[in-house]
Amino acid sequence: MQNQNQAAADFRGIRIDNETVAAASRLATEMFNARDFSGLRRYIDDANNKEDGYKRSLGLSMLYGVGRALLHGLRSAEKADCVKFTGDKLPTPDELLYSFKTDAALFVAQLNAAVSSSLQLGKASSVTLSVSAPAGLKDRTERSSDAPIKVEIVGMPTRETAVSVARDSNGDILGATHVEADAA
């Protein structure tokens, strides 16, 4: 039980840096559009640095910002009917914040879900994202760390729709089948 409490309290005292979260939102967009998340290694290493609290705070702020932006992007793609998620429910950006503040292990699991789902979406489609931080997010006195981040889809593949119509011997329509897919 003490190990669970230790893991849950792992990020207590860490303050999220809003400027870093805003930068991470832009970085997440670049990583998603490039389909390359290898740049996260640096921030993961800093987040795991238990000797330098400042670096740890900034690394965790970057990871939180990336996760938050990706989750906003995934939800926007789902709302735009670009993708349908099945299986386990993805966390909301607010749930990511809450787990950051209460349960380090859950935060890491949710961050992994956001990144792996984004990688899968990126491989399966040509969706691109654009993330813009709300005005004032850079000014820590104006906005809190849980301010919403606007995410919009700025590019999608061309779609083709094929319609197959079934008719009876009199030429009356019995039914139709619509198939929609990305254009080749």
Q: Over 80: is that where the pLDDT of 125 sits?
A: no
Helix (H) or strand (E) holding 113: helix 104-124
User: Residue 156's Cα: distance from chain center in Å?
Assistant: 17
Q: Are 91 and 115 in contact (CB under 8 A)?
A: no
Tell me what pLDDT residue 68 has.
Answer: 92
Q: Would you say residue 130 lies in a domain?
A: yes
Domain annotation covers residue 28? yes
| Owner of token pair 């005292």 | 13
- The answer to whether residue 171 is domain-embedded is no
| Residue-wise pLDDT tens digits, 126-161 | 666 665 544 444 443 344 445 556 666 666 667 677
Distance CA 47, CA 20 (A): 13
Answer for the pair 146, 71: CB distance below 8 angstroms, yes or no.
Answer: no
**Does 172 reside within a domain?**
no
- pLDDT, tens digit, 9 for 90 and up, residues 30-58: 888 888 889 899 999 999 888 998 999 99
1 vs 34, more confident: 34
Tally of domains within the chain: 1
Amino acid at 118: S
- Asked whether residue 113 is assigned to any structural domain, the reply reads yes
Answer for the pair 61, 46: CB distance below 8 angstroms, yes or no.
no
Residue 143 lies in a domain: yes
Q: Which amino acid is at 178?
A: H
Domain-located, residue 45: yes
Give the structural domain span for 115: 2-156
Question: In which band, very low, low, confident or very high, does the pLDDT at 63 lie, cut at 50, 70 and 90?
Answer: very high
Phi, psi dihedrals of residue 132, rounded to the nearest 5°:
-130, 130
If one compares 146 and 86, the residue with the highest pLDDT of the two is 86
pTM over 0.85: no
- Segment holding 5, helix H or strand E: helix 2-8
**Would you say residue 166 lies in a domain?**
no
Q: pLDDT of 104-121, one tens digit each?
A: 889 999 998 898 888 887
Cα gap 60→96, rounded to integer Å = 12
